Amino acid sequence: MLKTKIAVLVSGGGTNLQSLIDAQQSGIIKSGEIALVVSSSETAYALERAKNHGIAYLAVSKKSCGSQAEFENKIQRALTENGIQLVVLAGFMSILSADFVSKWEKRIINVHPSLIPSFCGEGYYGLRVHEAALKYGVKLTGATVHFVNEIPDGGEIILQKSVPVYKNDTPETLQKRVMERAEWKILPRAAELVSRKILKEGISYGLQRK
């Protein structure tokens, strides 16, 4: 069966990557397959997850590349060489340039740990998002999967899922609940939706731009 080739870009432990791998194995993701994992850190545990599941992987460090342009060139080469059609950002801590993103219109998705447009954009990542939610006093938060464009967290929303905020929450407890109840649920579902759409259109990244 023909499947959309997916690359997952990561920076840390790879819990969202694991949710995608599990979803692929359980059949939630059936229109796509994870063909490549790219980490911005050479020590990210996400690379071990890829290795343990027989998925091709590599680390591309911005520091060793010396510039944003070279960092993105190396990632682009890896994506092209592996025939990637969909890029999933799963805890990827580097912002991609407008030039890079423009080459992958409606082909990059990202999961963000809030209900966009709340607590999103430049500077909102990791625990900072949950700290802001608690400081503001919201009773509901959640996660959003969206297409990536040149504006941080500014692309079209694909899926959202809400999660309750409790009175005794800390940023850490809220982060865990949002991951378990929202991020790990909607990221695989969104990957399947977009993979299916790419297959239906019959247009891969390479074919589209020839």
One DSSP character per residue, 169-210 reads --HHHHHHHHIIIIIHHHHHHHHHHHHHHHHHHT--HHHHT-
Domains in the chain (CATH in brackets) are: 4-111+144-156+184-203 (3.40.50.170)
**Catalytic-residue membership of 112:** yes
pLDDT tens digit at each of 210 positions of the chain: 899 999 999 999 999 999 999 999 999 999 999 999 999 999 999 999 999 999 999 999 888 898 999 999 999 999 999 999 999 999 999 889 999 999 999 999 999 999 999 999 988 999 999 999 999 999 999 999 999 999 999 999 999 999 999 999 999 999 999 999 999 999 999 999 999 999 998 754 444 433
What are residue 153's phi and psi, to 5 degrees?
Answer: 60, 25
Return the beta strands (E) in the chain as ranges. 4-10, 32-39, 56-59, 86-89, 108-112, 140-147, 157-164
* pTM of the entire predicted model: 0.91
